[in-house]
């Protein structure tokens, strides 16, 4: 039982990363019908921006100029990095995708891969191949709850990511921007005819997805404090699988599927030899997709792009 709960806690943390990244894929897909394959690398960039901001703030704090407690630095790091990373997303959209809006989808997908490679190598050139370690902003405290070990970091990560996901949900359901995103997800053509500029909505979607990826990147840095320029690749693919599993374009779906993937990975490793983890975990996911080809919340519609 203890064993089970320990894994449950582990899976919650792990799944929250998948969920946050999957959301970015899903949002962009839903409004532009394209998978932004650079998203995993935007996550990486977000983590590095977070690293830069955090390191700067720590130095500032250490210099005595502006003594801040660790949690305050973390909050500031998250907010600042979200802001900065959202610009990365908007630039990617403007430079990489908008010129290809009417190109075949395959070209746009390739663009994503290329931008990803550019971001990776850009990082390599900028910082070198050395792995950097994310500064420990909050003192790690481990609680032993009847044999289940929980750290304050884990609790914080799960809570912070859940609240960002909730905020996104409210944004999409309750505001004019979110409503426009949902409308655009179903019918791309009607939205501008109501006087709403789709480029603004597209840019906003990229910005929000990227800001969320930055949150994920920073929390990732807190949990796994070794960053490397290629950290977003496999992770991005897996989150992409979660986005598909959730149902393309579904926010609720991406969130649930992200957590589910975390649970599957962790619990498969609990039961089977860890060497077989991904093999078994992804066979299960494949099986789910065979029975639910549109994912959990995906509608079997193909969006109407033509008049």
Rule CB under 8 A: say whether 113 interacts with other proteins: no
Instruction: Output 66 or 230, the one with its CB closest to other proteins.
Output: 230
- Within 223-262, the residues that bind other proteins by CB under 8 A are 223-226, 228, 230-231, 233-235
* Distance, first Cα to last Cα, the chain: 58
- Within 169-208, the residues that bind other proteins by CB under 8 A are 171, 174-180, 182-183, 186-187, 189-198, 204
Beta strands 142-145 and 148-151 are: antiparallel
Site size for other proteins, by CB under 8 A?
Answer: 66
Beta strands 132-133 and 226-227 are: antiparallel
Scan for tokens 């203890």, then name that residue: 2
CA–CA separation, 286 vs 251, rounded Å? Answer: 20
In the complex, what is the shortest distance from the CB of residue 275 to other proteins, in angstroms, rounded to a whole number?
5
Rule CB under 8 A: say whether 133 interacts with other proteins: yes
The beta-strand segments (E) located in the chain are 132-133, 142-145, 148-151, 226-227
Scan for tokens 């830069």, then name that residue: 52
Site string for other proteins, 66-105 (x = CB under 8 A): ----------------------------------------
Q: Residue 50, CB half-sphere, CA atoms under 13 Å: how many?
A: 33
Report residue 64 as tokens. 């005595």
Question: Which residues contribute to the site for other proteins (CB under 8 A)?
Answer: 3, 6-7, 10, 13-14, 130-131, 133, 136, 140, 142, 144, 149, 151, 153-154, 167, 171, 174-180, 182-183, 186-187, 189-198, 204, 220, 223-226, 228, 230-231, 233-235, 265-267, 269-270, 273-275, 277-278, 299, 301, 304, 307
């Amino acid at each position: 039982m203890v064993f089970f709960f320990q894994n449950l806690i582990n899976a919650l943390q792990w799944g929250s990363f998948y969920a946050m990244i999957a959301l970015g894929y899903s949002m962009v897909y839903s409004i532009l019908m394209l998978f932004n394959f650079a998203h995993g690398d935007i996550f990486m960039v977000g983590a590095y921006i977070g690293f830069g901001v955090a390191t700067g703030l720590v130095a500032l704090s250490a210099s005595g100029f502006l003594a801040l407690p660790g949690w305050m630095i973390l909050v500031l790091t998250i907010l600042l990095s979200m802001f900065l990373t959202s610009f990365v997303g908007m630039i990617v959209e403007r430079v990489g995708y908008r010129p290809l809006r009417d190109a075949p989808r395959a070209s746009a997908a390739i663009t994503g891969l290329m931008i990803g490679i550019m971001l990776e190598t850009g990082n390599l050139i900028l910082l070198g191949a050395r792995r950097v370690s994310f500064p420990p902003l909050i003192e790690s405290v481990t609680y032993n709850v009847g044999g289940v070990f929980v750290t304050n970091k884990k609790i914080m990560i799960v809570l912070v990511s859940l609240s960002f996901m909730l905020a996104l949900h409210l944004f999409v359901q309750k505001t004019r921007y979110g409503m426009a995103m949902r409308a655009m997800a179903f019918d791309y053509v009607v939205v501008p005819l109501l006087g709403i500029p789709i480029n603004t909505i597209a840019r906003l979607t990229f910005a929000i997805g990227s800001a969320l990826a930055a949150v994920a990147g920073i929390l990732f840095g807190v949990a796994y404090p070794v960053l490397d320029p290629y950290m977003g690749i496999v992770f991005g693919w897996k989150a992409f699988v979660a986005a598909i599993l959730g149902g393309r374009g579904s926010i609720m779906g991406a969130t649930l599927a992200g957590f589910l993937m975390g649970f599957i990975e962790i619990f498969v490793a609990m039961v089977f030899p860890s060497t077989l983890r991904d093999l078994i975990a992804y066979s299960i996911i494949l099986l789910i997709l065979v029975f639910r080809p549109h994912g959990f919340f995906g509608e079997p519609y193909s969006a109407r792009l033509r008049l």
